[in-house]
Amino acid sequence: MMLLFLYKKTRRCTLKKIIVILVILIAVAIVVSLRHEQILEEELRKKEEFLMKIEKRKIEAIKKKRRKDFISSIGKKISSTIKEEAKRKVFIIDGEMCFIFKNTDDLTDKEKRIASNISLICSPLAELESDHIQVSVEKQRFYAIENDEVVFLGKVSTGAVSGTTPKGIHRIQNQAEYTISRKYKCPLIHWMAVTKDAMIGLHALSGTAYEGRLGSPASHGCIRLSHSDAKKLFEWVSKIKKENSQYSQVYIY
């Protein structure tokens, strides 16, 4: 019936018109087919995203349980004399475990090795104040510590050449929201001088391209921070200075 109808309608048409009509019909069929495929792909994508969310939640739950079990196991590896201290000094921040000992005089050599292996921070230095900054050259991380607890941490870039970032206990010398490097003539954002000659400090750089290298050595000796971490640490250092009437210590190791 359909063919008969088309024949009656097009019997007076030229061959050219018939071809045009056929092309239009084919084009419409292709568009409908493509749209149908797009709808199917969209439905498939939504299903995959839903399944990925469920899988991600399962993985996070497993990780959380493993962290909890791992922290619980720490107490079994450390002598009973410092178990309570260990419980108070273990923190999970941004998915990383921080373990602080303010005084390790009571630890045996074996326990010190255990503490060193399982911790991001192991501070046996009694001369460190309760509010200070730690910078790990090995892990390329900084830790802001207030009342002997890690309040926040982040990635850094220390000296690309070994030894250019001076290790030891220092103290913030001065602060400036913006300054220019005397040696390299480049802008330094949220500058916090660490050494007495103010040649080495914590800071961010202009732009954000350098942030991709944070977590690995890349500087001339200073301690580079992301813009957000530099601002946060700058404000924290100002607060500590106001509370303690002096700048905080910086322990680089």
Residue 22 has pLDDT above 50, yes or no: yes
Mean pLDDT over residues 152-171, rounded? 92
CB 135 within 8 A of CB 250: yes
pLDDT tens digit sequence for 166-206 = 998 899 999 999 999 988 889 999 999 999 999 999 999 99
State the pLDDT confidence band at 147, using cuts at 50, 70 and 90. confident
Residues 66 and 151: their CA atoms lie apart, in Å, by 23
Residue 3 has pLDDT above 70, yes or no: no
Residue 227 catalytic? no
pLDDT at 60: 75
Residue 1 has pLDDT above 70, yes or no: no
Residue 98 catalytic? no
Residues 188 and 221: their CA atoms lie apart, in Å, by 14
The token pair at 181 is 């490097």
Check 132, 186, 203, 227 and give the catalytic one. 203
Is the pTM for the entire model greater than 0.85?
no
Burial class (CB in 10 A: 0-12, 13-18, 19+), 98: buried
CA dihedral 16, 17, 18, 20 (to 10 degrees): 90
CB 157 within 8 A of CB 216: yes
Mean pLDDT over residues 100-117, rounded? 52
User: Residue for token digits 């700048």?
Assistant: 247
Check 13, 220, 222, 227 and give the catalytic one. 222
The identity of residue 125, as a single letter, is: L
Cα angle 91, 92, 94; round to 5: 140
- Pairing between β-strand 175-180 and β-strand 187-193 as defined by DSSP bridges: antiparallel
State the pLDDT confidence band at 243, using cuts at 50, 70 and 90. very high
Q: Which residues of 99-123 are buried (b: 16+ CB within 10 A; e: fewer)?
A: bbbeebeebeeebeebbeebbbbbb
Residue 249 has pLDDT above 80, yes or no: yes
Residue 141 has pLDDT above 80, yes or no: yes
Q: Is 140 left (phi over 0), alpha (psi -120 to 50) or beta?
A: left
Q: What is the DSSP letter of 49?
A: H
Domains of the chain: 130-253 (2.40.440.10)
Q: Is 187 left (phi over 0), alpha (psi -120 to 50) or beta?
A: beta
pLDDT tens digit sequence for 205-223 = 999 999 999 999 999 999 9
